[in-house]
Amino acid sequence: MKVAAIYDIHGNEPALEAALSEIQKEQPDLIVVGGDIVSGPMPRATLELLWTLGDRLRTLQGNGDREVVAAFDGVPFGEQLPPEVRETTQWVAGQLERPHRDFLANLPPQLTIPIDGLGEVLFCHATPRNDEELFTQASPEERLRLFFAGVQQPIVVCGHTHIQFELELDALRIVNAGSVGMPYADQPGAYWLLLGPDIVFKHTAYDLAGAGERIVASGYPGAQEFVNENVLKVPSAAEATEFFEQEAIKQKSR
């Protein structure tokens, strides 16, 4: 059993195309998509490209997918969502039809897969507790113990913060797959994992300028900003880690 894990695509279809092209060369038995699929510039095309994977596809729901479903259903936005996020979420929901919405709405929050050489691996979007909690490689042990209390599997694969890293908590290996569509890393590209018989961090380069042109043509609100900040250039892992640690403190105080 060999599994590819791709997280946080965020509607970046060109990045997904490149990652899948490289993944196919590895011939994994399953491809796990760890959530936040459509919340970005090319939501419909991104989701429909995943559907072509057929029965090899296993998919989780991320917080972005959940928010898009709520917008599709006309549920009022919560006060915690900034105005620009509300605008883009509403735009994404408007690009989808009922089958897309129903697929996203019925995705599970986590799943467990036995992988040769690794044992049972738990896949979730942010943490095993929910789809929004924040942690990084720099998080205090106290927070990690709270988030991962009761986990029975030896390995947990997460996403949400878009930073590839691995850490250990006693006998538990916690791995962040990074992001295909909006990475926070030392260089642009699509980031993902290959699991079995070990865990390998993967990076796929792709035509960034060509991707930027396609994204701008999508009509996505703030498309050029998305291209400038998440495709042509990306925030560093160190910058993102510092940001998320500050945000985690705010989460705790709410």
- The mean per-residue pLDDT over the stretch 125-137 comes to 96
CATH of domain 3-253: 3.60.21.10
Q: State yes or no: pLDDT of 14 exceeds 90.
A: yes
Q: CA 221 to CA 89: how far, in whole Å? A: 10
Q: What pLDDT, in 10s, does the model give residues 92-127?
A: 999 999 999 999 999 999 999 999 999 999 999 999
Q: State yes or no: pLDDT of 80 exceeds 90.
A: no
Which one, of 172, 207, 205, 176, lies nearest residue 193 by Cα? 176
Domain ranges within the chain, ordered by starting residue: 3-253
DSSP SS3 for 184: coil
In degrees, rounded to 5, the angle at the alpha carbon of residue 14 between the alpha carbons of residues 10 and 16 is 60
Q: State yes or no: pLDDT of 253 exceeds 80.
A: no
Which residues lie closer than 8 Å to 119 by C-beta, 6 or more apart?
153, 154, 155
Q: State yes or no: pLDDT of 43 exceeds 80.
A: yes
Q: State yes or no: pLDDT of 223 exceeds 90.
A: yes
Q: State yes or no: pLDDT of 38 exceeds 80.
A: yes
pLDDT of residue 106: 98
Which residues lie closer than 8 Å to 107 by C-beta, 6 or more apart?
35, 59, 60, 61, 65
In degrees, rounded to 5, the angle at the alpha carbon of residue 180 between the alpha carbons of residues 112 and 100 is 70
Q: State yes or no: pLDDT of 229 exceeds 90.
A: yes
Residue for token pair 């991962």? 148
The upper half-sphere exposure of residue 54, i.e. CA atoms within 13 Å in the direction of its Cβ, equals 1
- The dihedrals phi and psi of 224, each to the nearest 5 degrees, come to -65, -40
- The mean per-residue pLDDT over the stretch 168-177 comes to 97
pLDDT of residue 78: 78
Task: Please list the residues that pair with 169 across neighbouring strands.
Answer: 172
Q: State yes or no: pLDDT of 168 exceeds 80.
A: yes
Question: What is the share, in percent, of the chain residues with pLDDT greater than 70?
Answer: 99
Task: Please list the residues that pair with 156 across neighbouring strands.
Answer: 122, 174
- The mean per-residue pLDDT over the stretch 117-139 comes to 97
Average pLDDT score over the chain: 96
Q: What pLDDT, in 10s, does the model give residues 189-209?
A: 999 999 999 999 999 999 999
Which residues lie closer than 8 Å to 166 by C-beta, 6 or more apart?
137, 173, 174, 175, 176, 199, 201
- The mean per-residue pLDDT over the stretch 21-31 comes to 97
Q: CA 49 to CA 18: how far, in whole Å? A: 12
Q: State yes or no: pLDDT of 79 exceeds 80.
A: no
Torsion of CA 7, 9, 10, 12, to 10 degrees: 170
| Residue with the larger pLDDT of the pair 81 and 125 | 125
The upper half-sphere exposure of residue 235, i.e. CA atoms within 13 Å in the direction of its Cβ, equals 18
pLDDT of residue 254: 64
Torsion of CA 73, 123, 133, 9, to 10 degrees: -60
pTM greater than 0.85 (yes/no): yes
Question: What is the share, in percent, of the chain residues with pLDDT greater than 90?
Answer: 93
